Amino acid sequence: MTDLQVLFQPGKIGSLTLKNRIVKSPQSTALSNMDGTVSQRSINHYKRLAEGGAGLILTEYTYIDEDASKAIHCQLGNTRREHVPGMGWLVDEVHAMGAKIGMQLAHGGRQKFLGTAPIKSASTSSWDEVENQYGVKPVPMTIAEIEQVMEDFGDAALRCFNARFDLVEVHAGHGYLITNFLSPFTNDRTDDYGGSFENRIRLLIGIVRNIRSKIPVSMPLSIRLSVVDYEEGGITIDETVELCRRLEAEGVDVLHCSGGHHATMQYEVSPWYMPRALHRWGFEQIRQAVSIPVIGSGSIVAPEVAADIIASGAADFISLGRPLLADPEWPNKARTGRTFEIVPCIRCNDGCLHRGLNVGRSAGCTVNPSMGEEYRYPVEPAATSKRVAVVGAGPAGLNAAKVLADRGHQVTLFEGKALGGQLNTAVRHDMKFDLRALLRHLVHEVERRSGIQVVKQAVTAAQLASGAV
C-alpha cells in the first residue's frame, strides 16, 4: 500500500505554498444569503472544512454578474463591492484554521437551475432538464455580451485579490458557460467564437487575459475543466490537452481536472456504481503535457486512492468534494493513520443533491448530519452519566451507541445477528464498495469505544423493563 504521508508533503502552486496535497473541491451548498453575501452558515461550513486539515479550500462556484451568471438559489456572489466584506470575513476565518482559500468564479450558462430568463449561452442548444421544467431556452450571447463577461470575470478576480484570497479559479468545466463555448456539441456559432478549436477557446483565453491584466502575477490562477464531457460530438481529450498547453502559456498556474457535465451527470458527480478516480486516465495525460501543477478530481474517495495518484505522478494535488462533506476530518484522520475512523462518502448523492439542492434546500449529507449545521449540535458530555440500552445494531443503532458513549453514558448494544444490520445484505454485490466502507467504519467506531458493551442477543422492551438482561 502507498504510504499515505505522500499526501502530506508541502506543495506549490505558483508562489503559493500549501501544507499538503489535499484540496477541497468547489461544491454548491446554498448556504449563502439570497443576495449572494456570505452568511454565518457559510462561515461555519468553510471554517469546519479548514479545521479538518485540507491544505486549500475552494469555495463553491460563485456568480460574477447581475445579468445571467447566477445559476442556483442562495449561491455565493461576487459582483460588486458590497460582496467584498463578507468575502474577506470568510478568508480570515479559514486562514485562522491554518488553511489557504481560493474562490471559484463561474457563469451558469445554459445550466441555470433557477430557470429564469435570460439564460445565456454560446447557442440555443438547451439543457433539457431546465427547458422541460421552466420552458426557458438559452439565448446566444452577442459579441458585446461576450466581451462584457470577460471584463466581469476580471473584475471579480480583482475583488478576490482585495478580499485577500490566496488563489482565484475559473470554472471552465461541467457544462457551464465556458464549456458551452468549448464544446462543438453546444457551440454552433458561425462567428469568431464558434467553429474551429481556435474560435471555441477564444472566450476562455480572453477571460484568462482579462484576469491576468487585473490581478498581480503573484496571485495564482487556476482553471477547472472537464478532461472530456463524455458526450458524443463533445469535447475530446486531444483538444483538452492542447487547451491546457495554451492556458499554461497564458499564465495559468494550475489546472483542476474533473469531467462530465449535467447532461452526463454520472460522470460529473459519479454515484456508487461508477468507478473511483474515474477521470484519472484524462488528468494523467494533461499532467504529461504541461509543466504547471495538476489537481486531480472525481470520486477520489479513499486515502489509499488519493495517495496512489500523488505517488505515481498522475497529479500533483487531489481534490475532494463529497468526501469532505461526509467527514471534514478526512485529512487529519488520514495523516494520523486513523483511516477506519473516516466517515466514508457512499456516493449516494442523496443528502447533497436529491434531498438537498435539487428540491431547493441547502446541501446536506446522508452520513453527516452536521453538514450545513456545523457547530450547531456539538456532542458534549452529558450532565449525568446513565446506563443506556440500544436495541439493534443497524446503521442507526451503531451510530447512536457511538454518540451516547461519546457523551459519557455506559451503553449496552443488543444485536442477535451481525453488527451492521441490513448493511450486511446490502454490501454483498462486488460494486457496493462504498457501502462496505461505511459498514467497516460504523463497526470500527463501536468496537474501539470502551464505553460500549456489545451483547450478541435480541431483546424485547419487556425484557429490558424487567431487568432480565
- The question of whether 176 is a catalytic residue gets the answer yes
Opening angle at CA 374, ends 370 and 376, nearest 5: 90
The rounded distance, in Å, linking the Cα atoms of 192 and 203 is 10
N-to-C CA span, the chain: 44
Grid cell digits, residue 202: 477564444
Phi, psi of 434 (to 5 degrees): -70, -45
Question: What residues have CB less than 8 Å from 465, skipping those under 6 apart?
Answer: none
CA distances from 152 to 169, 210, 248 (A): 14, 9, 22
Do 78 and 64 contact (CB within 8 A), yes or no?
A: yes
Query: Which of 46, 176, 193, 230 is flagged as catalytic?
Result: 176
Do 418 and 424 contact (CB within 8 A), yes or no?
A: yes
Tally of CB atoms within 10 A around 197: 15
Question: What residues have CB less than 8 Å from 140, skipping those under 6 apart?
Answer: 120, 121, 122, 123, 124, 189
Active site residues: 176
